Each structure stands twice: as structure tokens, then as C-alpha cells.
Amino acid sequence: MNNTTSAFVVSLDWLEQRLGDPGIRIVDASWYLPAQQRDPKAEYAAAHIPGAVFFDQDAVADLSSGLPHTLPSPEFFAKSVGDLGVRETDTIIVYDGPGIFTAPRVWWSLRTMGARNVFVLDGGMDGWKADGRPVTTDVPAPSPVPFTPSFNAAAVTSFQEMTAIVASGERQIADARGPGRFTGEEAEPRAGMRSGHMPGAQSLPSGVFSQGGKLKSLEELRKTIEAAGIDLSKPVVTTCGSGVTAAIITLALQSLGHADNTLYDGSWSEWGSRQDTAVVTGKE
């Protein structure tokens, strides 16, 4: 990679040249909202990158939280990923369908749990197939391996911490949901949730960070974030609908060398479904 693009993404060419490399593990992290009418498991079964294992974001989660795909315990995460044949010391390439959509969430999860050499595939599976690159229906049957977790609790913001942040303004809040959901003009896709955003939050829709399934240049990322009113010299907490696309903002921030950022794992699924949280509507 060069100094104009993120150090956390790899190109389609880069990965194709390394297919079969024993030091690389490939993870399909595709996940979709119901409105997208795409089935990630069916798409994986029909065609995936050779050697890729499927990471189920709904299953590798804290199923007791009552919230969609929140981080599980380090032990549960480690067993789930180890069962996929992935060690924390491997070079791990994560992809999704469209590119820069749900792969950043698994990139963030792996890094939060102690893996260090984790990258997102620019262009995604849609780009891979559009180029006519090799695909397979063969499902790997990896032998379980140890994944030794080293959980970075500081990367995750809890509900209690988020409540304090909203009250104090001690961290900037970057919301990855679409503009209509942020302002409250568009209903939430999940039943029973109020519309709007947290007081003090800035709107940074996740789709603005990529083009054609590829992460934008560092200069474009910087301009996009600063135009939204985020000061890159100050702490940021990212949030979205359910903690998935917030990781796209996290990817952009960390690509720019911003280190003091956390992700609110419960996101709007938690905040918007409660009756004791402050919610505002409109653009401010």
C-alpha cells in the first residue's frame, strides 16, 4: 500500500496473487438488512473466494443481550473463530458483498479481540465476481485451531458510558445511519424504535466513505470527516443502527491515524428502543 490509501485495505489483485498462501485466512463477513433482499449464506454457498470461511455475524454474538450481533465474550469469540481455522496471529482478509459494508465490523471485532494483521478487501465479492476472478462452491472444512484472545475493552463503549458521553459532550459522536434516519424523517427498520439521534451527534452516513465498493483515498476520508464537523484531534465514538456500519467510520478514522475512537456496540438498536434516553430530531 502507498501513503494515499488506507493501510487496512488490500486490493483484489493483491489477494488473487496470494490465494492458497498458507499464512493467509480469508473470511466472508457478508450480512444484509432485510430491505436489501440478499441472503449472505446462500450467496456464499453459490460462490465464494477459494479458501474463504463464512463468519455469521448473527451467531458469533452475545445472544443473551437482546440486541443484534453485539460482541460476545472473548472466550466465545475465540472458540467461534478458532473453529473456522483462524488464529489471532494469521493475516486475515475480510470481505463482504458490496465492499466496505459489513466487512469493517468483523475487521474491528477481530482487532478488538486481539488479532493484529487484519485487512478489508477493497471492492468486495461483487467486484471480485465482476472481474471474473476465481470462485468456488467448495466449502472449507478447517481443523479447529487456538485463537488466543486479548480483548481491548477500551475499543467498546457501553450504554452507561454512552449515556455519560451524551450528557457531558466529552467525546464527539459520529452516526453512520442514513440522513433520513438521523433526522427522524425516516422510520427505523426495526419495530418499536424511536426515530432521530443522540444529542450532539454528527451525521456521517456510512456510504460516503467508499465508491464502487472501494474505500476512498485518505485525503477524501479526511475531507469527508471534517466536513461533517468532526475534529480529528479529539476523541470520537462511532454509532449506527446496530453496531455494524459504525465500524466503517472506525475504519476511516484509524486509516487516518486517529487512535482515540471507540464504537458504541448497542448503537441505535439499544438507544432508540429505550424510553429513558434523550432523542432529538432534525439536522442539529
Q: Which three cell numbers stand for residue 33?
A: 438488512
**Residue 194: its pLDDT value, please?**
92
**Residue 189: its pLDDT value, please?**
84
**Residue 1: its pLDDT value, please?**
46
Contacts of 131 (CB under 8 A, 6+ apart): 12
**Residue 148: its pLDDT value, please?**
98
Q: Give pLDDT tens digits along the chain (284 positions).
A: 457 999 999 999 999 999 999 999 999 999 998 888 999 999 999 999 999 999 999 999 999 998 988 999 999 999 999 999 999 999 999 999 999 999 999 999 999 999 999 999 999 999 999 999 999 999 999 999 999 999 999 999 999 999 999 999 999 999 999 999 999 999 998 888 899 999 999 999 999 999 999 999 999 999 999 999 999 999 999 999 999 999 999 999 999 999 999 999 999 999 999 999 999 999 87
Residues 159-174: tens digit of each pLDDT: 999 999 999 999 999 9
- Rounded CA gap, 33 and 178, in Å? 13
Which residues have a catalytic role annotated? 240
Element (H, E) at 25: strand 24-28
Name the region of 37 (left: φ>0; alpha: ψ -120 to 50; beta: rest): left
Coil/strand/helix, residue 268: helix
- pTM for the whole structure: 0.96
Contact by Cβ (8 Å): 253, 261:
yes
Q: What is the DSSP letter of 136?
A: B
Instruction: Catalogue all structural domains in the chain, each as residue range(s) with its CATH number.
Output: 9-150 (3.40.250.10), 154-271 (3.40.250.10)
Supply the angle between the helices 246-255 and 218-227 in degrees, to the nearest 10. 120
**Residue 2: its pLDDT value, please?**
55
Task: Report CA Rg, the chain.
Answer: 18
